[in-house]
Structure 1
C-alpha cells in the first residue's frame, strides 16, 4: 500500500475546513458515512456524555458508520449494541471499542455513557506510524469490536483514559488538544499491543456491505425528500429485491423502516436543538404532514413530539 496524502472535511460550528493527513480511506466515499462534528477545528476528535432513559430520551439508535474509531465507557446501566450483525451487552464499569467503518447501532437500554470518537488521521504522524501501528489495527477483522472489561488490567487502563479524556475535555484547558492526543496515542498503543499476533491481511469488504453503506449514505443525505425504494436500490447499484434483502440481512430492518428511523432520529435533534414548530420539523424531516409525523413519533417513542420537547427542557 502506498503512502499518500488525503484531504478530509472537518465540520465545526457550521464551518468546513480542509485538513491534509496520511490516513488512507477505502473506496467508499467519506460523504456516505456519518459526518462527525468535531470539537476543535484542527484536531478531529469528539467527546460527549450522554444519559439515555426510556422515560425521557430516545434510546433506539439507527445503524450508522463513520471513518472514526469509537471508544465508549458505560458509567451506569446497560448498553446493548450491534456491530456488523453481532449483538453485545455491556454493563456499567465496562466499555467497548468500535473500529472505523463498522456499521453499528445502540439498542434500547437505560444508561449513562461517555463516548470518544477520533479520526485515525490524528494518529498518522508519518508514513512509518501509519503503516506500522495504525493500519494493522484498522485492518484487523478481529478488532472490529473489542469489549473493554474493568477486570482485565490493560482494558481497564483504556477505560480509565476514556474517563480522563472526558474530565480534561470538561476542564477545557489551553493544552487540551495535546492532552487528548497523548491519551489517544496511549490507548492506541494498548490496542496495538493486544491485537492478534497472526499476520493480518486486509479482508475485502463484501459487495453487499459496500452497497449497504452507499444506500445508508443516500438515505442520510436525502431523508428530507420523498424517497422511493427504487432510488435507494439504485444508489447501491442493486435491484429493489436485493436492496430489501441486504437491509434485512445485515441490519435486520427494511430500507423503508431505516428511512423512517432516520427521519425520526433527526426530528429528535431538531426538537432538542431548535425552536422550530412541529409542523416545520415534520416538513424538514420528510414527513407528508404534521399529523403523520406525530403519529409515527408516538408509535416509536411513546410520546408526542411536544411532550418529548417538554421533557428535554425540564431536564435541562
Structure 2
C-alpha cells in the first residue's frame, strides 16, 4: 500500500497521475495521511478510475462542484469515474488517515463490451446523478458494506492468490454499491458540460500558474466568455478565478518549501507569486506563518 503525501498530474489532460497503475493490473492501494499534505488538503483533481475508500481516523471533507460530504472515522464511500473533487481535513481535527482502492473498472468488469460491464459498470459510471456514495457506521443498512470495504484492505499483496482475492472482494463490494445506487439510477440524470468547461480552465491554470494569467486567457481556453468563467467559478467552487489561481500557487509553494532547498525568493518566483515581500505577505495571510517559518515547522513535524 503506497503512502501518498502529494498529488501529481498527467501532462496534457491534467488528470491525477496514479503511479503503479498498469494495464495488466489497473489497481493501486493508497494510505493517505492528510496531515502530511501541504495545507492539509488535496487540490481539485479527477481521474477515470473510481475511488473506493475507508476513513481509519480523523474527519475528511470531500467536495465536488455539486456538494460537500463529511466522512468521520469509520465511514467510507466511493467517488465515481471522472468526478471533479478535492479533499481536506476538518478544522481542528488531527491524524486524518484514509485508505484507498483506486482502480479502473475493467479490473472487475473484464474486457470492454462484456456483459458485466454493460449490466453493472456502464450504468453506474456514466450516471451524472451519482458523483459519490457515502456510508456511515451509525446507519444499520450500511454496516455490511462498510465491513466489506474495511476488510478488503487486509488482503496482503504478498498473500496467496492476492490478485484473485482482491478482485473477488472488490466485485462483491461493487455489487452492493450497485444495489444501493438503484434508486438513483432510476432517476433521469442530465449531462452538464459545465464541469468539462471547469476542468478545461483548471488545466490551463495548472499548466501556466507560474506565469502571469488573465481571466480572458482562462476563459478562451475553455471557449467561453469571461462572464461565464466568473459564473462557473462562483457557482461551482464558490470562489473567483483570481482567488483560485492564488490558492493553487500557494499550494505549489508549500510543496516546493517542503520538497526542495530552493531559496524562499526562488520559490515565490517559481510559483508565480512574484517578489519576496509579496510572496511573504500573501503566504502569511493564508497560512499564518511566513514561508521560512512554514518550512521550519514542517521539518520539525510541528504542523
For Structure 1 versus Structure 2, the TM-score category normalised by the shorter chain is 0.7 to 0.9
For residue 147 of structure 1, what is the aligned residue in structure 2? 134
Residue among 20, 28, 32 paired with 1:50: 32
- Confirm or deny that 1:114 pairs with 2:98: yes
Unaligned runs of 5+ in 2: 1-7
Residues 1:80 and 2:75 are matched in the alignment: no
Equivalent-residue separation in structure 2 for 1:37 and 1:280 (angstroms)? 29
2:301 is the alignment partner of 1:284: no
* Aligned 1:1-316 pairs, distance under 5 A: 31-42=12-23, 43-53=25-35, 58-107=39-88, 109=90, 110-111=93-94, 112-116=96-100, 117-126=102-111, 127=113, 128-152=115-139, 155-168=142-155, 172-173=157-158, 177-197=163-183, 203-315=189-301
Equivalent-residue separation in structure 1 for 2:267 and 2:27 (angstroms) = 29
Quote the Cα distance in structure 2 between the aligned partners of 1:154 and 1:181: 24
182 and 220 in structure 1: CA distance in 2 versus 1, 3 angstrom threshold: farther
> Kindly tell me: are residues 306 and 249 of structure 1, through their superposed partners in 2, closer, same or farther at Cα, counting changes over 3 Å?
same
2:44·2:84 contact (CA, 8 Å) conserved in 1? yes
CA RMSD, 1 decimal: 3.2
Number of residue pairs the alignment of both structures matches: 286
The alpha-carbon distance between structure 1 residues 155 and 248, as it changes in their structure 2 partners (threshold 3 A), is same
What's the TM-score once normalised by structure 2's chain length? 0.79
CA contact 1:47–1:114 (8 Å) conserved in 2: no
Deviates more, 1:60-69 or 1:212-221: 60-69
Measured after TM superposition, the shift of residue 53 of structure 1 is 4.7
| Secondary structure of the structure 1 residue equivalent to 2:86 | strand
1:252 Cα offset (Å): 0.6
Equivalent residue number for residue 4 of structure 1: none
Equivalent residues of 2:38, 2:254 under 8 A apart: no
State the shift of 1:152 in Å: 4.3
Structure 1's 51 and 198: CA in aligned 2 closer, same or farther, altered over 3 A? closer
For the residues of structure 2 that align with 1:33 and 1:200, how far apart are their CA atoms? 32
Name the CA distance, whole Å, in 1 between partners of 2:72 and 2:217.
40
Partners of 1:63 and 1:105 within 8 A in 2: yes
Cα distance in 1, alignment partners of residues 233 and 28 from structure 2? 29
Structure 1 residues without counterparts, runs of 5 or longer: 1-13, 17-29
- State whether residues 72 and 113 of structure 1, in contact with CA within 8 Å, keep that contact through their aligned partners in structure 2: no
SS of 1:58's partner is helix
Q: State the distance in 1 between where 2:296 and 2:162 align.
A: 35
The 2-side partners of 1:178 and 1:172 are apart by 11
- Relative to 1, partners in 2 of residues 1:115 and 1:292: Cα closer, same or farther, differing over 3 Å? farther
TM-score, structure 1 length as denominator? 0.77
Counterparts of 1:205 and 1:311, CA distance in 2:
45
Distance (whole Å) between structure 2 residues aligned to residue 315 and residue 89 of structure 1: 26
Per-residue deviation at 1:97? Answer: 1.6
> 1 CA distance for matches of 2:215 and 2:256?
26
| CA distance, structure 1, for counterparts of residue 184 and residue 255 of structure 2 | 44
Q: Name the CA distance, whole Å, in 1 between partners of 2:139 and 2:191.
A: 31
